[in-house]
Amino acid sequence: MKQLLEHIRTDALAAFSAAGDAQALDALRVKYLGKKGELTALLKQMGRLSPEERPVMGQLANQVREALASALERRQRDLEAQALTARLTSEAVDVTIPGRPAVLGHRHPMYIALDEIKDIFVSMGFQVVDGPEVELAEYNFDKLNAEEGHPSRDWSDTFYFDTDSRVMLRSQTSPMQVRSMEVMPLPIRIIAPGRVYRKDEVDATHSPMFHQVEGMVIDKNVTMADLKGTLNLLAEQLFGKGTVTRFRPHHFPFTEPSCEMDVQCHKCGGAGCPTCKGEGWIELLGAGMIHPNVLRMAGIDPEIWSGWAFGMGLERTAMRRFKIADLRLIFENDMRFLEQF
| Rounded least distance, CB 311 to ligand PHE, Å | 3
- Kindly indicate which of the ranges 23-31, 62-70, 81-89, 303-311 contains the residues binding ligand PHE, using the contact rule CB under 6 A: 303-311
Instruction: Out of 172, 245, 264, 275, point to the residue binding ligand PHE (CB under 6 A).
Output: 172
Angle of helix 2-18 relative to helix 53-90, nearest 10 degrees, comes to 0
The span from the CA of 316 to the CA of 121, in Å, is 18
Instruction: Out of 309, 314, 324, 327, point to the residue binding ligand PHE (CB under 6 A).
Output: 309
- Kindly indicate which of the ranges 51-59, 67-75, 124-132, 286-294 contains the residues binding ligand PHE, using the contact rule CB under 6 A: 286-294
Q: What share of the chain is helix, strand, coil (3-state, %, to 5)?
A: 45, 20, 35
| Rounded least distance, CB 102 to ligand PHE, Å | 41
Nearer to ligand PHE, 37 or 311 (CB): 311
- The sign of the dihedral angle between the CA atoms of 264, 269, 274, 280 is positive
**284 and 318 Cβ atoms separated by less than 8 Å:** no
Nearer to ligand PHE, 37 or 194 (CB): 194
Helix (H) or strand (E) holding 177: helix 175-183
Nearer to ligand PHE, 19 or 117 (CB): 117
| Using rule CB under 6 A, residue 139 touches ligand PHE | no
| Using rule CB under 6 A, residue 252 touches ligand PHE | yes
Alpha-carbon distance values, 98 to 64, 92, 101, 262 (Å): 57, 15, 9, 53
Instruction: Out of 310, 319, 321, 327, point to the residue binding ligand PHE (CB under 6 A).
Output: 310
| Using rule CB under 6 A, residue 188 touches ligand PHE | no
Phi, psi torsion values for 58, nearest 5 degrees: -60, -45
The span from the CA of 217 to the CA of 50, in Å, is 124
Instruction: Out of 140, 180, 255, 264, point to the residue binding ligand PHE (CB under 6 A).
Output: 255
